Amino acid sequence: MAAEDDSGEKTEAPSSRRIEQARAEGNVGQSTDLNQVLSIIGGFLALQSFGPWLWENYITVTKGLLTSQYFSRQVTPEAMMGELPNIIMMLLPPIAGIMLVAATTGGLTSATQTKFLWSWKLLRPKFSNLNPMNGLKRIFSLNNFITLLKNIAKLAIIGPIAYFSFLHLFPELLNLMERPINQLLPFTANALSYIFWRIISLLLILAILDLSWQKWRTYRQLKMSKSEVKDEKKSVEGDETTKMQIRAKAMQRIRQKMMSDLPSADVVVTNPTHYSVALRYTTEDGAPKVIAKGKGYLALRIREMAADYGIPVIERKPLARALFASVEVGQTIPYELYAAVAELLAYVYKKRGHNPFRKK
C-alpha cells in the first residue's frame, strides 16, 4: 500500500511531451496582472505623446461650439447630429492611437509570456465548470487565496501612495487660486504623472512576482507521479514485451540478410569457437567488407554454411575479436586492420589461385 501511495505523489519533473500537451491546451503560466500593468504604462506613455494633439483638437472643438462655428444656424437635434461626425473625426484619431498602443502593449506582453502560443481549445466551453462542487473548489482554492492577497496588497499600496502624494502636493494645491488658468492643466498633468509612476512602479513589482507564482504553479500542476512517468514511457516506446519482439524481428532480418550474402564471402575468420566474421573484397567496395558476423550459435552456423559453400575458414583469434568488436555488418574494415586482413586475403587467394580483384 505504501508503494502505491508513493506512486501517486507528483514528485517527478514534467516530461517534454506533457509540457507540449499542456501548451496545446493553452495551459501555460502567465500573469494577467503583468499584461494589465504594462498595458496601462503603454497607454499612459501614449497619452503623454498624443496628449498635446488631443488637447489642441479639443480646444478647437470647444471654441467652435462656443462661437457657433459648428451651429451657425438654429441649434436642433438634426443640426447636432449633422455636425457630430466632424467632431468625432477630430477627436477620434488621438484617442484611437492611445487605445491602440495600450492594446498592442498588452497583447505583446501576453504573447511574450506564452511564447506566441495560440490555442483554440481555450475557446471551447468546459461543462465541468457548471458543476457546483468544482465551483466551490475554485472559490476556496489556493490560487483564489493568492489573488485575494494580491488585491489586498494593491489596495495597501495605492491608498498610502495617494494619501502621501496628496500631502506632498497640498501646499501647491492651496496656491492654485493665485495661478493663471493656463497653468492649471500643466500642474494637473504633472501631479497625475507624479502619483501614477509611484503607484505603477510598485504594481509592476507585484505583477513580476505574480508571473513567478503563475510559472511555479503551472510547473507544480504539470509534475508527474512515478506511475505516470512509466505509463507515458510505455505509451511512447511500447511495453517491454513489444520492444523485445521488435528487436527479435530486426535481428532475424539481419541474420537472413547475412546468410543470403554469405555465399559471396572470400574467407571466414574465427576465434575459433566464440566468434566468426565473414569478409569479402571487391574493387567496387574499395576495401574488405564484413558481410556476416556472429558469436556462439550464430558463429557456428556461419562456419557450417561456409563449409557447405567451400569458403575457407581460418583461425585468427586477435583478428576475429577485433573485427567483431569494431566493424558492423555491411561496413568496410578500419585502416588499422588493413595489414592483417590483406595478409589473410593474400594467403586465401594464393591457396585458391584466382584473381582477387574480381567484380561481383
List, for residues 80-106, the tens digit of each pLDDT value: 676 778 778 888 888 999 999 999 999
The CA-atom distances, in angstroms, between 249 and each of 244, 253, 294, 311, 328 are 9, 6, 16, 28, 18
- Could you list the beta-strand ranges (E) of the chain: 267-270, 275-280, 289-295, 313-315
**Residue among 29, 33, 31 nearest 151 (CA):** 33
What pLDDT does 63 receive? Answer: 75
d(CA 233, CA 239): 8
Q: Specify whether the CB–CB gap between 313 and 307 falls below 8 A.
A: yes
Quote the cell numbers at residue 26.
493553452
pLDDT tens digit string along 245-297? 777 776 777 777 778 888 888 899 998 778 999 999 887 878 899 988 888 88
Quote the cell numbers at residue 294.
556472429
Domain ranges of the chain: 28-117+142-220, 248-352
- Residues paired with residue 314 on neighbouring β-strands, in sequence order: 269
For domain 248-352, the CATH superfamily is secretion proteins EscU (3.40.1690.10)
Pairing assessment for the beta strands 267-270 and 313-315 based on DSSP bridges:
parallel
Quote the cell numbers at residue 30.
502567465
**Residue among 112, 65, 107 nearest 86 (CA):** 65
User: Which pTM value belongs to this model?
Assistant: 0.54
d(CA 47, CA 151): 26
